């Protein structure tokens, strides 16, 4: 099966094999060695000297941790949203009592740093900015370095959902001044779901000491205390940690530059291939994501039938649309363990299936 | 290695093998089949017609879910605590703004249902009772049916931490009137950590509609909505679900009665064996747990050396003490995938190692 959804992503066999290792005591030196090695490697990919904490949770749990560990009820935050995951980040902040100012964009577009500048200038009470780096629901990558520059010029806290970008797209946590950066094991990391990673800058820790939103399971201070002894506060998803260690070793061998270049190449290949089939991209191409491509469903075509035939006849699994884009797009995931061949297979399958659902693809030269 | 800590517990090879299966789309019919099968089997072990929700979290995340989905800040709750996990349940409620009335017992003792009756009579404003079924830190099992009877006579909500009891000790969710029952995959279920299970009675759902504690990641209403479509709201720890399905099949084949009888037999065997070595149990024997045994460290004996030698020379891993019992006890886990031989090996290893750390064991007849 060619699983081409934006997560869970396929895992290399040696990663899956590692997840099947027997349990060990999570309060033992053997575990401390595993945890410390994984954290050290993660920090290298994060490009941070700060802390990276590992939670047993989905990416959404990591996003919630970012919010509740740095903010208090009543705090004003600017939530920049370009899709379903930006909306989710805003909803989490709202749920915990933040006063959320929304800066919303049409789905398929990226955020404009100048709009963020204007929002921050107009409302000096804003304390933090919430932003999605790579919007999985639309296949758009926000210009994070430029956004970070504006946010840091205004000395605001910057919380970043990098769930579907870190480990695949450039992210420079310290150099760009990102205060909290969240990602999940089942995305660029080639590991099964179950773990979320959250980095904390010194400014984020300063905010932590004043933050009054309630937190217990997701309390990052507890995670930091335990990490200093090579432990997690609660029993962690050990199998996933086993797999992560192997995946991080593989990623280290490939090298971050090469990983990023591979994703850039495959992202472009996917977009060019999709367009060559006569299909349209949802994303503004200047900001198209190199980890996930959202394709508009041509008028009159039933996307469920399309997806079913892709799977039944070609073993190719693509994702549907989320939220208001349900039925209007399908999405091809190309992050983590992905090769040129994987994407070519998707494009070939589309070329064969599209005519069967009533869409004539252009004849290839 | 003979991993005899109270979790993570050892996993059968066929369970570990299942965890290594490739990823699938968590929004697919194939996933719905897996999730529905697992939930159906869990409900059978819970003995409930109510809902059982699966969270990607440790047991502590499940305990937090029990609190935040049924209570509001300012609600008065009675927290019955006989050890570290009872304290944790109380701390979670306090963190989220509940007014916590503590009913505390000396570590090693069980709660007395008559004390709970008195507390509820004295303070009619109490809305819910938080209780640990099996206290992992002390090896004591509370008399849950009797406690539940008192709580239900007073028509209070009953939240139960059954993390280290369910699937190994008798728990009758519906018959006893337990409103929320929490457990974790890495305990009696013979599965790696990463998933928590939470049952909700109709009364718990009624409380949910009024509960104002903030919740997002752990929102059980969202989990119920998605479960109706055979999904989880957030990407779940798929590998652990694969393993869980196999473990639940194995448990179904053994049968609940036999599983409970096996734990009762092995619990007794452990206690008798420990006493035959001249060691003392921490737990009041009338309430000694059949899933974990806490052993007092004899005066002058260094428990770290004892544990190190057990592991190095015999491959036997036991747990230390938690909280205020650190250094004073060690704990033998005997839940989930455990046989008579596993425990006999621990006892034999103790018989050989204890003299080396300065404790003379009685000569066996």
Convert the pLDDT of each residue in B30-41 to its tens digit. 999 999 999 999
Nearest CA to B291 out of B319, B325, B328 is that of B319
The residue among B12, B58, B318 with the most chain A CBs within 10 A of its CB, best to mutate, is: B58
Size of interface A-B (CB pairs under 8 A): 178
Interface of B with A in 315-344 (CB under 8 A): 317, 319-320
Same domain, residue pair A244 and A273: no
Q: Scanning every residue of chain A, which has its alpha carbon at the shortest distance from the alpha carbon of B85?
A: A234
Range(s) of the domain holding residue A336: 255-357
Name every residue whose Cβ is closer than 8 Å to that of residue A85 and which is 6 or more positions away in sequence: A132, A135, A136, A137, A161, A163
| Residue whose token pair is 């190199």 | A290
Asked if A59's CB is within 8 angstroms of B56's CB, the reply is: no
Statement: the pTM of the whole predicted model exceeds 0.95: yes
Whether B6 and chain A come into contact, CB under 8 Å, resolves to no
State how far residue A230 is from chain B, nearest Cα, in angstroms: 16
Same domain, residue pair B172 and B26: yes
In a domain, A110, yes or no: yes
Distances (CA, A) of A153 to A116, A342, B248: 11, 42, 55
Same domain, residue pair B180 and B241: yes
State how far residue A17 is from chain B, nearest Cα, in angstroms: 6
Cβ atoms of residues B55 and B218 within 8 Å: yes
In a domain, A237, yes or no: yes
Task: Please identify, among B253, B279, B294, the residue that sits at the C-terminal boundary of a domain.
Answer: B253
Rg value, chain A, Cα:
20
Question: What's the pLDDT band for A365 if we cut at 50, 70, 90?
Answer: low
Name every residue whose Cβ is closer than 8 Å to that of residue A126 and which is 6 or more positions away in sequence: A76, A77, A78, A101, A119, A120, A156
| Cross-chain CB nearest to B19 (options A58, A239, A320) | A239
Question: What's the pLDDT band for B363 if we cut at 50, 70, 90?
Answer: confident
Same domain, residue pair B225 and B274: no
Q: Scanning every residue of chain A, which has its alpha carbon at the shortest distance from the alpha carbon of B17?
A: A20
| Residue whose token pair is 């949802």 | A282
pLDDT at B57: 98
For the cut 90, the answer to whether the pLDDT of residue B47 exceeds it is: yes
For the cut 80, the answer to whether the pLDDT of residue B365 exceeds it is: no
- Chain A contacts of B61, Cβ < 8 Å? 56-57, 217, 234
Question: What's the pLDDT band for A53 if we cut at 50, 70, 90?
Answer: very high
Task: Please identify, among B253, B281, B314, the residue that sits at the C-terminal boundary of a domain.
Answer: B253
* A318-362 tens-digit pLDDT: 999 998 999 999 999 999 999 999 999 999 999 999 999 999 999
3-class secondary-structure state, position A35: helix
Interface of A with B in 164-203 (CB under 8 A): 184, 186, 192-194
The helix or strand, by DSSP H or E, that contains position B61, with its residue range, turns out to be helix B59-68
Mean of pLDDT values over B49-61: 98
Q: Where are the alpha helices (DSSP H) in chain A?
A: 13-19, 29-46, 59-68, 84-95, 113-122, 144-153, 173-176, 202-210, 220-227, 238-254, 256-276, 303-314, 340-353
Task: Please identify, among B207, B222, B253, the residue that sits at the C-terminal boundary of a domain.
Answer: B253
| Cross-chain CB nearest to B57 (options A22, A57, A184) | A57
What percentage of chain A exceeds 90 in pLDDT?
98
In a domain, A239, yes or no: yes
Cβ atoms of residues B330 and B307 within 8 Å: yes
Same domain, residue pair A98 and A202: yes
Instruction: Say how far apart CA A204 and CA B27 lie, in whole Å.
Output: 35
* Peptide bond before residue B8 is cis, with ω within 30 degrees of 0: yes
Give the phi and the psi of residue A115 in degrees, each rounded to 5.
Answer: -65, -40
SS (H, E, C) A132-154: ECEECCCCEECCHHHHHHHHHHC
SS (H, E, C) A178-198: CCEEEEECCCCCCCCCCEEEE
Instruction: Say how far apart CA B131 and CA B111 lie, in whole Å.
Output: 9
pLDDT at A275: 97
Same domain, residue pair B168 and B298: no
DSSP B122-143: H-TTEEEEEEESEETTTTEE--
Instruction: Say how far apart CA A69 and CA A346 lie, in whole Å.
Output: 41
Nearest CA to B150 out of B127, B173, B129, B171 is that of B129
Same domain, residue pair A209 and A64: yes
**β-pairing verdict for B157-161 and B180-184:** parallel
3-class secondary-structure state, position A104: strand
- Chain B contacts of A92, Cβ < 8 Å? 216-217
Asked if A8's CB is within 8 angstroms of B234's CB, the reply is: no
Same domain, residue pair A100 and A154: yes
* B67-108 tens-digit pLDDT: 999 999 999 999 999 999 999 999 999 999 999 999 999 999
Residue B102 exposed, middle or buried by CB count within 10 Å (0-12, 13-18, 19+):
middle
In a domain, A365, yes or no: no
Q: State ipTM.
A: 0.97
In a domain, A2, yes or no: no
Average pLDDT, chain B: 97
Same domain, residue pair B353 and B214: no
- Chain B contacts of A56, Cβ < 8 Å? 56-58, 61, 193-194, 237
End-to-end CA distance of chain A: 29
Same domain, residue pair B227 and B286: no
* B330-345 tens-digit pLDDT: 999 999 999 999 999 9
| Cross-chain CB nearest to A217 (options B3, B25, B57) | B57
* A138-160 tens-digit pLDDT: 999 999 999 999 999 999 999 99
Q: Which two tokens stand for residue B30?
A: 């194939």
For the cut 80, the answer to whether the pLDDT of residue A364 exceeds it is: no
For the cut 80, the answer to whether the pLDDT of residue A231 exceeds it is: yes
Q: Which two tokens stand for residue A130?
A: 């919430």
* B274-303 tens-digit pLDDT: 999 999 999 999 999 999 999 999 999 999
Interface of A with B in 197-256 (CB under 8 A): 213-218, 233-240, 243
pLDDT at A363: 78
Asked if A214's CB is within 8 angstroms of B218's CB, the reply is: no
Same domain, residue pair A53 and A139: yes
Q: Provide the β-strand partners of residue A331.
A: A294, A319
3-class secondary-structure state, position A75: coil
Same domain, residue pair B233 and B277: no
For the cut 90, the answer to whether the pLDDT of residue B364 exceeds it is: no
Asked if B23's CB is within 8 angstroms of A20's CB, the reply is: no
In a domain, A1, yes or no: no
In a domain, B365, yes or no: no
What is the CATH number for B27? 3.40.640.10
Asked if A64's CB is within 8 angstroms of B235's CB, the reply is: no
Average pLDDT, chain A: 97
pLDDT at B202: 98
State how far residue A44 is from chain B, nearest Cα, in angstroms: 25
Nearest CA to A166 out of A141, A201, A146, A147 is that of A141
| Cross-chain CB nearest to A3 (options B1, B10, B25) | B25
pLDDT at B52: 98
What is the CATH number for B342? 3.90.1150.10
Q: For chain B, what is the domain count?
A: 2
The helix or strand, by DSSP H or E, that contains position B27, with its residue range, turns out to be none
In a domain, B231, yes or no: yes
Buried b (16+ CB within 10 A) or exposed e, B157-166: bbbbbbbbbb
């Amino acid at each position: 099966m060619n699983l081409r959804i934006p997560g869970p992503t396929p895992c290399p066999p040696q990663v899956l094999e590692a997840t099947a290792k027997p349990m060990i005591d999570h309060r033992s030196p053997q575990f401390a060695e595993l945890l410390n090695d994984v954290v050290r490697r993660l920090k290298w990919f994060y490009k941070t000297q700060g802390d990276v904490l590992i939670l047993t949770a989905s990416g959404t749990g990591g996003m919630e941790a970012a919010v509740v560990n740095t903010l208090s009820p009543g705090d004003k935050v600017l939530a920049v949203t370009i899709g379903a995951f930006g909306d989710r980040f805003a909803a989490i902040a709202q749920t915990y009592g933040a006063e959320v100012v929304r800066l919303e964009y049409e789905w398929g577009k990226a955020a404009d740093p100048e709009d963020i500048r204007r929002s921050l200038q107009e409302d000096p009470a804003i304390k933090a900015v919430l932003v999605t780096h790579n919007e999985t629901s639309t296949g758009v990558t926000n210009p994070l370095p430029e956004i970070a520059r504006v946010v840091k010029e205004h000395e605001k806290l910057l919380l970043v959902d990098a769930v579907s970008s870190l480990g695949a797209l450039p992210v420079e946590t310290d150099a760009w001044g990102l205060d909290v950066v969240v990602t999940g094991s089942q995305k660029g990391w080639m590991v099964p779901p179950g773990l979320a990673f959250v980095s904390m800058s010194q400014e984020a820790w300063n905010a932590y000491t004043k933050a009054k939103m309630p937190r217990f399971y997701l309390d990052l201070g507890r995670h930091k205390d335990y990490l200093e002894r090579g432990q997690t506060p609660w029993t962690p998803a050990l199998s996933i940690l086993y797999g992560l260690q192997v995946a991080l070793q593989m990623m280290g061998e490939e090298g971050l530059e090469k990983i990023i270049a591979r994703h850039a190449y495959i992202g472009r290949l996917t977009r060019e291939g999709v367009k060559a089939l006569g299909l349209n991209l949802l994303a503004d191409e200047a900001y198209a994501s190199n980890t996930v491509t959202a394709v508009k469903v041509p008028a009159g075509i039933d996307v469920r039938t399309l997806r079913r035939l892709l799977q039944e006849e070609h073993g190719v699994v693509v994702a549907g649309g989320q939220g208001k884009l349900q039925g209007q797009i399908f999405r091809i995931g190309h992050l983590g363990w992905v090769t040129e061949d994987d994407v070519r297979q998707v494009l070939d399958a589309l070329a064969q299936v599209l005519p069967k659902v009533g869409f004539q693809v252009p004849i290839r030269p």
